[in-house]
Amino acid sequence: MRDCCDHHHVELLAARRRRVLVAVFAINAGMFAGEFGAGLLIGSTALLGDSLDMLGDALVYGFSLYALGRSTRWGNGAALLKGIVMAGFGLFVLAHALIQVSREAVPVSAAMAAVAVLALAANTACFGLLYRYRAADLNMRSTWLCSRNDLIANAGVLAAAGAVQVTGSAWPDILVGLAIAALFLVTSFGVLRESSAALAGPTRR
């Protein structure tokens, strides 16, 4: 009887995690489309970087959904793949920011701020949904770390928009793009280190 109750409890927790991951996946996929389009339209490196963060997170949450309910090794493998995705996007944003250094176009600060506020609201909702599961396992922890990074990136985009408005220069936008890239890379290296160590250990089903 106790085993039956324990099994039901585990299934209930898995169902709750799945619902949370579906919700944050939908939020991030929708925000990626809107933010990427806005970044291209107004020429903002920071918004493009933040939009790719949204896309990366949507992929991350998709991987997490796939790994949910599978063996611990599957979860660790998903975390490794998420680390690779974050590193790839970090390098992409870094390259884009460096290219923008040679350009003189200044993004529209008011549009940057408006889109960043929407992204901040969306990521705050995701952060709240994921917070209670941040210590559940490596898979959910790496997912929560992505959400935390989003909030930091959004705050950076808002600060960049204000600085662009005050200075009339594109440099604040470029510098925030570089900072987002650095944040991606540092976090991805941590996830890659933890997941690689877990995968190198004894196989657990």
Other CB atoms within a 10 A radius of the CB of residue 70 amount to 13
Question: For residue range 105-133, what is the model confidence (pLDDT) as tens digits?
Answer: 788 899 999 999 999 999 889 888 888 77
Quick one: 171 exposed, middle or buried, by C-beta within 10 A (0-12, 13-18, 19+)?
middle
* The CATH number, out of the four listed (1.20.1510, 1.10.260, 3.30.70, 3.90.550), of the domain defined by the range 2-199: 1.20.1510
- Whether residue 62 contacts residue 139, with contact meaning beta carbons closer than 8 Å, is answered with no
Phi/psi at 123 (nearest 5 deg)? Answer: -70, -30
Q: Report whether pLDDT(13) > 60.
A: no
> What residues does each domain of the chain span?
2-199
Q: Residue 89 has which token pair?
A: 């996007």
pTM: 0.70
